[in-house]
Amino acid sequence: MGCGAPRCLPTAEAGTVPSPTPGASRCAPRCRGSGWSRVPHRAHRLIPSDDELYQRTRLTVLEPESPNIMFIEGYSSRGFTINGDVVVGPCAVLPRTILQWNVGSYRDISHESLSLFRLLEPRIEILVLGTGDRVERLHAAMLKQMRECGIAVEVQDTPNACATFNFLTSEKRMVAAGLIPPRATCTGTSGTAYAVLPSPA
């Protein structure tokens, strides 16, 4: 088919962007001499495509000196003191909030109770689990599932888990903790069983 100038560019209504027709990219170069411009291969998009529209939104991590950063100040057999607030019972310490964790002991830690940490956005890097007075063995399948989600899991006794969480937070790591209060703590001068954690350097 010949390449007459009127046939090189498709006709479009006012306010629309023409789509290239088959063969336009081959005949357009031979039409430049007649004053016609080359047909664009792709029109400019004025709205986001589907993959751009549904991308996840990432939040900026707060700086360590922000008062909203979670810091575990102490623990007892009843619960924890976090950022000046007393939390009774097991708790989930997230980068910017604290939740009650519905477990009674390490035996209740399951795929379901860990699902909270897998759904966080921005995604955490490390999950620190405090299993009480001592390190308890958890099911390997649960830990494997967390690793497959890109989350490393540290299982420790609760006193060490609290210190580890504070240290990782001070290092600007995206970390969360699932903590079960220990039954045995040192008794202070007031007669209350309570342990105070030092601030990370």
At 175, the amino acid letter reads V
Tell me which residue has tokens 């954690």: 197
Query: For residue range 50-69, what is the model confidence (pLDDT) as tens digits?
Result: 444 444 434 333 333 445 68
The single-letter DSSP state of residue 9 is S
Distance between CA atoms of residues 92 and 174, nearest Å? 14
Of 80, 109, 42, the closest CA to residue 117 belongs to 109
- Using the predicted structure, report yes or no on whether residue 168 has a pLDDT greater than 60: yes
pTM for the full predicted model: 0.62
Higher pLDDT, 42 or 179: 179
The tokens for 115 are: 């699902």
3-state secondary structure of 135: coil
Which of 39, 20, 19, 15 shows the shortest CA–CA distance to 29?
39
Report the phi/psi class of residue 57: left, alpha or beta, with left for phi > 0 and alpha for psi in -120 to 50. beta
Instruction: Please count the other Cβ atoms lying within 10 Å of the Cβ belonging to residue 171.
Output: 10
Q: What is the pLDDT of residue 166?
A: 95
* pLDDT at residue 199, as a whole number: 62
| Contacts for 76 with CB less than 8 Å, ≥ 6 apart | 181, 185, 192, 193, 194, 195
Residue 182, pLDDT above cutoff 70: yes
Beta strands in 90-158 (DSSP E): 91-93, 98-100, 126-130, 152-156
pLDDT, average across residues 28-46:
47
Mean residue pLDDT across the chain: 74
What percentage of the chain exceeds 70 in pLDDT?
A: 59
Q: Is the pLDDT of residue 130 over 60?
A: yes
Instruction: Place 193 in a pLDDT band, splitting at 50, 70 and 90.
Output: low
Residue 65 CA neighbour count, 13 Å, CB half: 0
Q: What is the DSSP string of 25-59?
A: HHHGGGGGGGTPPPPPSSPPPSS--HHHHTPPPPP
